[in-house]
Structure 1
Amino acid sequence: MQPPKRARVEKSSSAECQGMICSGRRNVFTLNKSKHRGCEFAFSDILLLLFRRLRTVDTHGCSIPKITSQPLSSNRWLPKAPRQGDSGTMSIQDGQGKGTLDVAHYFDDEGIPAKIPYGGTSSRNHLAFKYYDEDQIVRGKSMREWLRFSVCYWHTMRGVGLDPFGGGTISRPWEDGTDGLENAKRRLRVAFEFMKRLGVPFWTFHDRDIAPEGATLAESGKLLDAVVDLAVELQSSTGISCLWGTANLFSTRRYMNGASTNPDAHVFAYAAAQVKKVMEVTHRLGGQNLVFWGGREGYQSLLNTDVRQELDHMAAFFRMVVAYKAKIGATYQLLLEPKPKEPTAHQYDYDAQTVICFLKTYGLDKDFKINIEPNHTTLAGHCAEHDVVMASKFGMLGSIDANTGVAHLGWDTDCFMADPQQTTLIMKTVLEQGGIAPGGLNFDAKVRRESTALEDMFIAHIQGMDAFAKGLVGAAALLEEGLLPRMVAARYASYAEGFGKRLAEGQASLEECEAFVAEHGEPRLVSGSQEKFQSIFNTYA
């Protein structure tokens, strides 16, 4: 066995990187702290340090050497290790080790209980629920049935705190820094251990979240199958089910001009083939929904875009999805997720009303419903609960990504929802439509970049679950006591009988309206009483 190659440590250049590894050539690295000068480090040791730190330094032109030749695919946050193949993607043979089967110690070592308990409102235990008692009956159903909580894989298991201005800050002990199959399987075991302790019944995923991308479409499919094999076993052993699956059609540069709306038919075909595989594995996992979020389905400029052709192509794509769903015998609900912008300047699925219009225009409204993400709703200039209400009122609310944004910011921050006013309004809508099944409340939310402790993962979900449990109880009381609904009905009482009823039923004419005004004169002013409504609502929220 040959000794490891050594890395020469040279005096730092003018760039100051505060003691981090700040520049590198092949087998040559520079450290900035004077106490390290003259030291030698094994190349493997430096790589291990990089992977464990999960950081990318880019300060004053000083950066860590690239560790991947390919843009990030499913995982927008995690630095990737070198992968086999000339295109920078890993081989199907990579990472065939069994990995660590016992993953409980990752949480045991941090003092996380085997099951997050219900402590009640008097509890001061930050690892206990204050409001969420899964067996508590509310309006004839348990909280567990009403709320149908789900953990998302991408933020929870793949997020490391990257943002546009800095590298990752979060290091998880189960990660080995590679994009291999062994690491993917270990990560999946940890995810199910996390969800089991949290007590959530569902999980959601993108294809490239749970499995690495291969050098070819077929190889990617084999890698995905290998991870799904394990997911089937873990679902069976834990009782946790798949709420929904989705295809990542936005991260890799292949889809920089869109997927189903791409001007290149070759890219369209690739996206369709990728979705075909996701439909199959979601069906195999017993997924109850299949979601489509068009992150690149839009435009940056109208100058180079034929918007009608792109929308026609997107509709054709979804008709193919409907046909293949029937062919494989899948029963999951198909969902579109609106977002007005980011990453494109304008996305075609702008908000709930835009999506409803699209579906009805192309005759797809009987095949799809809508997955609402409140943070996306606020980006469209609405209040967080607007799209939930709008989709529900038109019978199109299928599921909810339970998150929110920061009110004074203009981008997608994916915060855990903690405002009981928001959760009460959302749960009021869910109760009014009789539930959210087969959809659920999926925590498409992430801990903050500065929240690096392992317990933060649990605390964030606990407070989110408590917020919705509190909202459920408040909304149930509001509806049962009926004061606010009666006040709303009173505002529209003039349409309940007489001439107003004929108007509401579409039986009156413009001439009749003119005659009515001639007979009754100027209408009286009636207060909207918004402050009164808000005051009453506050007693429940």
Structure 2
Amino acid sequence: MNYFVGDQEYFKGIGKIEFEGKGSKNPLSFKYYDAKKKIAGKTMEEHLRFATAYWHSFCADGTDPFGSATMVHPYHKADPMANAMAKADAAFEFFTKIGTPFYCFHDADVSPEGDSAASYEANFHKVSDGLLARQKATGVKLLWNTANVFTHPRYMNGAATNPDFAVVARAALQVKNCLDVNVKLGGQNYVFWGGREGYMTLLNTDMKREREHLARFLTMARDYGRSIGFKGTFLIEPKPMEPTKHQYDFDAATTIGFLKEFGLQDDFKCNIEANHATLAGHTFAHDLQVCSDSGMLGSVDANQGDSQNGWDTDEFPTNVYETTLAMLVILRHGGLGSGGLNFDAKRRRNSTDLEDLFLAHIGGMDSFAYGLEVASRILEDKVLANFVAERYASFDSGEGKKFAQGAMDLSSLAAYGKGATIIQKSGKQEYLQNLLNSYLLG
């Protein structure tokens, strides 16, 4: 069987990546991700809803601030539109071979901008027709798309928050076209990442006005999306800084507060990226939990950072401790709904073989599959749930229950405290960490 849709095979010598189990010595196989294996009533594929990120996988060439490109893409063509179509063939070949049921992209990833707004629109819609044909041929679906309104020089001062109205309007053109394409392709979500929606210095910034403009822009996008039949979830992807000094979607809590402040909470949720959470000084699980507690957990960008580097390194996730804690939150939340686990991650600059893209995804998919299995066992055994329930048991009856239900005032609470007997109780952190390790280590 051919696992490619065009006339040319780009990842030659690599077939469909299969599950072979943890005893396999074949590096091009899954050790833990068994797509059809059932965990807690759903298959792994249904739980994890993996997606491949177009930008890192098929656009990134290894360039960094200190060095030029190191990766040669076999689908590169001199003509921009021919290159876009060849890239799409390679992308869908990869999706079908690795087995990610979804993909994600920015408009600039899939289509050349051209020399005018009109050519941008024409190019994008022609390429999206090609993407739709490839989706139909392979069964791969669009998890979400988004507009790249941060790379082009016109967006150096932001997009929706730009002090120049003309730039705001140009950003709207891109977002409108991206929403049109999303509906055409059956996208299940639509993402806003505010790459430059923030400031470099308050000396030249009207922060109140910029936040209001951002909210107005999002409201207009929401209204337009609904008017053309988009029924999915709008997602905001928090990040504290980089490329700006401060971004208005700093972390999950800040983003949720912003959405509620401007009345957008019914249509928007958060797309949490692990590396962005750690840049904000939180753990990945923390930002997931903040969203879950507010009913605002929409989707996940699955990657990890480097604890020794204070920037967004976008590494493929291999830390099973973190993936287990993440899956504990996601499973307790009831799953990701229309969201998924998108690998917003890139090969390292010196990982230049074509098979390295497969190896990177295999590692990430296995890590989350292992985390899913461990988290499911922990929840099934109720060891953590029972401990936490007992720790807060004083709020489940008597005066504690009255307090929790809002049936006490401060005077009555203080009166109870006057005669209360306080017994020191250990939080048993070390015991719980050892317990988690016992599940991780089997």
TM norm. shorter chain > 0.5 = yes
Q: Secondary structure at the match of 2:124?
A: helix
Separation in 1, partners of 2:327, 2:42: 14
1:309 matched to which residue of 2?
209
1:116-515 equivalent positions in 2, closer than 5 A:
116-176=17-77, 178=78, 180-515=80-415
Which digits, 9 at most, give the CA deviation of each residue in 1:463-483, with x for residues without a partner?
A: 100000000000000000111
Separation in 1, partners of 2:394, 2:411: 19
Aligned-pair CA distance for 1:179: 5.7
Separation in 1, partners of 2:225, 2:121: 18
Aligned-pair CA distance for 1:144: 0.5
Aligned-pair CA distance for 1:519: 1.7
Q: Which runs of 5+ in 1 are unaligned?
A: 1-99
Separation in 1, partners of 2:100, 2:212: 39
2:423 matched to which residue of 1?
524
1:35-46 equivalent positions in 2, closer than 5 A:
none
Which digits, 9 at most, give the CA deviation of each residue in 1:130-154, with x for residues without a partner?
A: 0000000000000000000000000
Aligned-pair CA distance for 1:437: 2.1
Separation in 2, partners of 1:284, 1:367: 20
Q: Give the aligned residue type for 2:28.
A: L
Which digits, 9 at most, give the CA deviation of each residue in 1:255-292, with x for residues without a partner?
A: 10000001111111111111000000011000000000
Q: Secondary structure at the match of 1:540?
A: helix
Aligned-pair CA distance for 1:327: 1.0
Q: Which runs of 5+ in 2 are unaligned?
A: none
TM score, norm. by length of structure 2: 0.97
TM score, norm. by length of structure 1: 0.80
Q: 1:497 to 1:434 in 2, by over 3 A?
A: same
Count of paired positions: 436
Question: In angstroms, what is the RMSD of aligned CA positions?
Answer: 1.0
Per mean C-alpha deviation after superposition, the further-off stretch among 270-279 and 511-520 is: 511-520
Separation in 1, partners of 2:114, 2:232: 27
Task: From 107, 126, 136, give the equivalent of 2:11.
Answer: 107
Aligned-pair CA distance for 1:310: 0.3
Aligned-pair CA distance for 1:508: 1.2
Which digits, 9 at most, give the CA deviation of each residue in 1:297-342, with x for residues without a partner?
A: 0000001101000000001001101110121011121000000000
Q: Secondary structure at the match of 1:507?
A: coil
Aligned-pair CA distance for 1:430: 1.2
Structure 1 contact 179–212 (Cα < 8 Å) conserved? no
Q: Secondary structure at the match of 2:287?
A: helix
Structure 1 contact 484–536 (Cα < 8 Å) conserved? no
Q: Give the aligned residue type for 1:118.
A: F
Q: Using CA pairs below 8 Å that are at least 6 residues apart, which structure has the higher relative contact order?
A: 2
The percentage of aligned residue pairs carrying the same residue is 50
Separation in 1, partners of 2:118, 2:6: 28
Separation in 1, partners of 2:22, 2:286: 30
Q: Give the aligned residue type for 1:103.
A: Q
1:15 matched to which residue of 2?
none
Separation in 2, partners of 1:202, 1:245: 11
1:540 matched to which residue of 2?
439
Which digits, 9 at most, give the CA deviation of each residue in 1:397-419, with x for residues without a partner?
A: 00000011001210000001111
Separation in 2, partners of 1:457, 1:305: 41
Separation in 1, partners of 2:234, 2:80: 31
Aligned-pair CA distance for 1:216: 1.4
Q: Secondary structure at the match of 1:212?
A: coil
Separation in 2, partners of 1:513, 1:138: 45
Q: Give the aligned residue type for 2:115.
A: A
Separation in 1, partners of 2:367, 2:176: 37
Separation in 1, partners of 2:173, 2:24: 51
Separation in 2, partners of 1:340, 1:315: 18
Higher gyration radius (CA)? 1
- After the TM superposition, which segments of 4 or more aligned residues of structure 1 sit over 6 Å from their partners? none
Structure 1 contact 206–245 (Cα < 8 Å) conserved? yes
1:22 matched to which residue of 2?
none
Bigger proportion of residues as helix: 2
Which digits, 9 at most, give the CA deviation of each residue in 1:109-168, with x for residues without a partner?
A: xx212x101110100100000000000000000000000000000000001111111111
Separation in 1, partners of 2:44, 2:21: 14
Separation in 2, partners of 1:316, 1:139: 42
Q: Give the aligned residue type for 2:265.
A: D
